[in-house]
Chains A and B, each alone.
Chain A
Amino acid sequence: MKQLLYLLTILAAGLMLCACGGPSQESGAASANASASMSGGIASVEDDASKRNIVQVAVSSPDHTTLVAAVKAAGLVDALSNPGPFTVFAPTNAAFDKLPAGTVESLLKPENKTTLTDILEYHTYVGVIRTDQMRDGQRLNQVNLKNITISVQDGKVKVNGKANILASVPASNGIVHVIDEVLLPE
């Protein structure tokens, strides 16, 4: 009887290891890029009560599926779910469609992650800037350390002289300005 119980204990231990993929999960957490994985990071917190964060706002918009795919591919999901606060200029799918054919597909490839990350960071400012706080000629130094320039004419805001702000959506950790152009760092 005792032996049987002993065996069972070993079995239980084995099952525990198998059930969740075993110790590999731990080393995965230790070595993977923090922002490369959605699992375990702040984006995976279950929370139905809080206001939506920037990532959740983007995910809920049917016009931003390309942007969401890009944010995932760049491993920025956790970072943009962080307390921030962020101002994210969010190009619509139509804005991405204006890029030369094949550009988006190419950017989403793992080998182009650095370029993609740079572009997405160029759309992100640390701090909350509402459109009524934007001034003509204002420069904003984006996360990738490059500046964007705001112009305000007749009450209309443009980014880098080209992109129009179509809508602004407040999020729990910042604000999303929907734009009709992809901003490309020079």
Chain B
Amino acid sequence: MKKFLWFAAGFALIVAALWQCKTKGAAGASSADAAQKVYVAPGTYDEFYNFVSGGFNGQVSVYGLPSGRLLKIIPVFSVFPENGYGYSEETKAMLMTSHGFVPWDDEHHIAMSLTNGEQDGRWMFANANNTPRVARIDLGTFRTVEIMEIPNSGGNHSSPFITENSEYIVAGTRFSVPLDNQLDVPIETYKENFRGTVSFIGIDPKTGHMNLGFQVLLPGINLDLSRSGKGPSHDWFFFSCYNSERANTLLEVNASQNDKDFIVAINWKKAEEYARAGKGKVKKVRYAHNIYDEKKHMATTKWEDEVIMLDPKELKDFVYFIPCPKSPHGCDVDPTGEYIVGSGKLAAVIPVFSFTKMQKAIAERNFEGEYDGIPVLKYDAVLHGEVKKPGLGPLHTEFDANGNAYTSFFVSSEIVKWSLKTLEVLDRVPTYYSIGHLCVPGGDTRKPHGKYVIAYNKITKDRYLPTGPELAQSAQLYDISGDKMKLLLDFPTIGEPHYANAVPASLIKDKSVKIYPIEENQHPYVAKGEHEAKVVREGNKVHVYMTAIRSHLTPDNIEGVKVGDEVYFHVTNLEQDWDIPHGFAIKGANTAEILIMPGETQTLMFKPDRVGIFPFYCTDFCSALHQEMQGYLRVSAPGSNVPLKYGTGSPQPPQ
């Protein structure tokens, strides 16, 4: 025994030593100090929710910080087989557009609703980059409850950034396109016919419902990112743009010719006044506006047909261009609202503009000229200063509450901390590898919470166990509480993370919905108890009003359905108990498998393709007798005279 212990101890010693050498020195996170800082004991909560855009997966994922634990995937612009979003009859309408059903997209940025410039934990807005849309997620239910299509737009990239009291979110076009009423033009007529637009989408302060307030018409530039002003600059919105060359081919070369592109400053208050005074032109368009009713548990599509267009060439003094070096990407406003940080992604310099100086330059009409009829302010007149040689490929900037800025650098793969006041670089840390966006909790608001900066990396290569050619992308958590940034943690992410928000858990966790009260369920096919369960035939449509409760489905034996019928299983989860969802699936269904939350009704449409017995069951392990929660559907030949018959326990007589 003794010998064995000695041997074991010695072996452990060698293994421990070797293991330590195997971990990368650069990881840093292996130190006990870092481990302690990210350790959230089992059963305890994280301090922050981290809402992370999913890029090409069209989703938003939610992590806890500092642990990096994945809490939730919220499907937004893409179907989600896991819970039936976009497949169930109730949710299909969420993904309706003027192009028809578009069940995927590229989701880049999110914006939390704000009150007085601070995060208020009510809604999260998200953009669809490809088929231009904006979405609203309810943070009581963590569900997408509204999606609005954006007309006159191509590539909704500079979106859905938000004003300080959630008055508006914006949608700026990455691709300029011909407006919706004059579509078929030669591509080489880009300069004459292609236009950028910025949509201002109003938010109802009570319900959160969106409405397309107005659009601002811009020349055919590529709008990239944006931020609203804060405090003194509250009335303004700032957008970076590239391709001031207005090239329509090989942008890699042709959109990098000018030494400077622009930051577009829009006085949205003034634009709003113009729109309200009827100064805009009403344009005919067609776009889908999809709203999910959480009482009816159902989405509907409303078709909208007008938009107010404001042309800054005709309506003066609300749009100005600020020259900004080399294809600016990020365009970020500091917590005081005084500084606007442009990040020329090809520039080795970060220009910082002053709102006060901008106001002065506008008042003095200190212009260097016009660009397509819009005044261009003098660079030097608006510039607060430049951060010189900060790194290579600056992309995005977030802020802490102490006057520091944190900028991500893609090419030199690092985060650089610098002072807004002195414009001096204070610290830099490498990221592994090739950071895109970054996020400080509240770091885009008037009240940053600081504590961490999170890097969202585009490349991981050897950072995790390899998984074939397609690798996870990653987040990295850094402690910024001291003078020096310290890497604490790596964690892989779902999809491709672009922009993210980190929000104190206290703003959200206590209002999280646990169940849907069954008495409030207004679904037209609800069965609020087993006594309401029934099967109704309407021509070739068969509506099954089904209930689910531990551990049976009612009805669980159904006969009298025929090939050619459309069977609608409207499943109501009768549970009024937190975290007891039921699932529903039937063999051969090529439509969906669904989850139904307590008190909710969701519908799976099934079109049997053959005669036979089709088993169905609950797919979500709900109880000790989950395996018993099953039933059969008998499907007979077309024209058969098998009567409609259904029940659980003792079959009901035919209708």
- Identify the A interface with B (CB < 8 A): 1, 5, 8-9, 11-13, 15-16, 19-21, 23, 25-26, 28-35, 39-42, 45-47, 78-79, 82-84, 114, 117, 121, 126-129, 133, 139-141, 143-145, 147
Chain B residues with Cβ below 8 Å from A23 are 31
Q: Top 10 nearest A-B pairs by Cβ distance?
A: A40-B26, A34-B430, A34-B414, A25-B25, A26-B28, A12-B13, A16-B20, A42-B433, A29-B26, A8-B9
Asked whether, in the complex, the Cβ of A79 is within 8 Å of the Cβ of B462, the reply is: no
Known: A121-B348, A128-B252. A31 touches B2 (CB 8 A): no
A141 close to B346 (CB less than 8 A) = yes
Indicate if the CB atoms of A126 and B413 lie closer than 8 Å: no
**Shortest CB–CB separation between residue B171 and chain A, in angstroms?**
28
Nearest chain-A residue to B255 (Cβ)?
A: A127
| A129 / chain B contacts, CB cutoff of 8 Å | 253
Interface residue? B625 (CB, 8 A): no
Of chain A, the residue at the smallest CB distance from B34 is A26
B505 close to chain A: CB less than 8 A: no
Task: Show 5 A/B contacts (Cβ-Cβ < 8 Å), sorted by A.
Answer: A23-B31, A28-B25, A35-B392, A126-B393, A127-B253
Contact of A143 (CB < 8 Å), options: B20, B348, B461, B485: B348
Report A-chain residues with C-beta under 8 Å of the C-beta of B252. Answer: 127-128
Contacts A15-B13, A83-B458; is A141 near B430 (CB within 8 Å)? no
| Contact indicator per residue, chain B 401-431, by CB within 8 Å of chain A (1) or not (0) | 0000000011111100000000000011111
Complex interface bits, B247-264 against A, C-beta within 8 A gives 1, otherwise 0: 000101100110100000
Which residues of B lie under 8 Å from residue A114 when comparing CB positions?
389
Main secondary structure of the interface of B (DSSP, over half): loop
The interface residues of chain B lying within 8 Å CB-to-CB of A45 are: 461-462
Taken together as a complex, chains A and B put the C-alpha atoms of A33 and B486 apart, in Å, by: 13
Q: Which of A34, A82, A127 contacts B429 (CB 8 A)?
A: A34
**Interface status of B459 (Cβ within 8 A of chain A):** yes
Asked if A126 contacts B412 (CB within 8 A), the reply is: no
Q: List, in ascending order, chain A residues with CB within 8 A of B427's CB.
A: 31
Q: How many A-B residue pairs have CB under 8 A?
A: 148
Q: Are B20's CB and A19's CB within 8 A?
A: yes
User: A43 to chain B: closest CB distance in Å?
Assistant: 10
Partner of A1, one of B5, B34, B349, B391: B5
Contact indicator B13/A30 (Cβ below 8 Å): no
Contacts A35-B412, A41-B433 known; A15 to B16 CB distance under 8 Å? yes
A82 x B411 contact (CB < 8 A): yes
Per the bound structure, the CA–CA distance linking A109 and B206 in Å amounts to: 64
| A residues in contact with B24, CB < 8 Å | 40
CB neighbours (8 Å) of B21 from chain A are: 19-20
Determine the distance from Cα of A109 to Cα of B525 in the docked complex, in whole angstroms: 79
Contacts of A121 in B (CB 8 A): 348, 392
Tell me the bound Cα distance from A41 to B463 in angstroms: 11
Considering only residues 556-570 of chain B, those with a C-beta below 8 Å from chain A are: none
Cβ-closest chain B residue relative to A49? B469
Whole-angstrom distance between the Cβ of A167 and the nearest chain B Cβ: 21
B277 partner residues in chain A, CB cutoff 8 A: none
Q: Do A143 and B392 touch across chains, with their CB atoms under 8 A apart?
A: yes
Does B624 belong to the interface (CB within 8 Å)? no
Contact check, B413 vs A30: say whether CB atoms are below 8 A apart: no
Task: State the B residues within 8 Å of A (CB).
Answer: 2, 5, 9-10, 12-13, 16-17, 20-21, 24-28, 30-31, 34, 250, 252-253, 256-257, 259, 325-326, 345-349, 389, 391-393, 409-414, 427-434, 458-459, 461-462, 484-487
**Closest chain A residue, CB of each to CB of B250:** A133
Given contacts A82-B413, A84-B411, 16 further A-B pairs with CB under 8 A are A8-B9, A12-B13, A15-B16, A20-B25, A21-B25, A29-B429, A34-B413, A34-B414, A39-B26, A42-B434, A78-B412, A78-B430, A121-B348, A133-B253, A141-B259, A145-B325
State whether B13 touches A144 (Cβ < 8 A): no
Check A41–B413 contact: CB distance below 8 A.
Answer: yes
Bound CA–CA A32/B326 (angstroms) = 28
Q: Which of A1, A16, A34, A145 has the most CB of B within 10 A?
A: A34
Cβ contact within 8 Å between B461 and A16: no
Cβ–Cβ contact B17 & A16, under 8 A:
yes
When chains A and B are docked, how far (Å) is the Cα of A13 from the Cα of B12? 11
Residue in A8, A9, A28, A46 whose Cβ sees the most chain B Cβ within 10 Å:
A8
Find out whether the CB atom of A29 lies under 8 angstroms from the CB atom of B17: no
Q: Which residue of B lies closest to A135 (CB)?
A: B253
Which of A20, A30, A34, A144 is in CB contact (< 8 Å) with B486?
Answer: A30
Question: Within 8 Å CB of A15, what residues of B?
Answer: 13, 16-17
| A144 to B388 Cα, complex, angstroms | 11
Contacts of A127 in B (CB 8 A): 252-253, 256
User: Complex Cα distance A82/B429, Å?
Assistant: 16
Residues on the A chain within 8 Å of B345, using CB: 126
Report if A83-B430 is in contact (Cβ < 8 Å); known contacts: A1-B5, A29-B25, A126-B393: no
Question: A144 CA to B2 CA in the complex, in Å?
Answer: 67
Residues in A neighbouring B2, C-beta threshold 8 A:
1
Within the complex, the shortest CB–CB distance from B257 to chain A, in Å, comes to 7
Say yes or no: A141 contacts B462, CB within 8 Å.
no
Chain A residues near B326 (CB, 8 Å)?
141, 145
| Residue from the list B20, B259, B392 in contact with A20, Cβ < 8 A | B20
Most B C-beta atoms less than 10 A away, residue of A12, A25, A30, A39: A30
What's the Cα separation between A127 and B431 when bound, in Å? 22
Q: How far in angstroms is the closest Cβ of chain A from B452? A: 14
| Cβ-closest chain B residue relative to A41 | B430
Give the interface centre of A21, A28, A139, A145 by most chain B CB atoms within 10 Å: A145
Cross-chain contact B28 with A29 (CB below 8 angstroms): yes
Q: What's the least CB distance linking A7 to chain B, in Å?
A: 10
* Chain B residues whose CB sits within 8 angstroms of the CB of A133 once the complex forms: 250, 253
A residues less than 8 Å from B27 (CB atoms): 29, 40
- Cβ of A12 and Cβ of B17 under 8 Å apart? yes
The smallest beta-carbon distance between B349 and chain A, in angstroms, is: 7
User: Is B412's CB under 8 angstroms from A34's CB?
Assistant: yes
Whole-angstrom CA separation of A172 from B54 in the bound complex? 27
Instruction: Tell me the complex Cα distance, A15–B347, Å.
Output: 46
Q: Nearest B residue to A18 by beta-carbon distance?
A: B17
Smallest CB separation, B474 vs chain A (Å):
13
Q: How far is the CB of A9 from chain B (nearest CB, A)?
A: 8
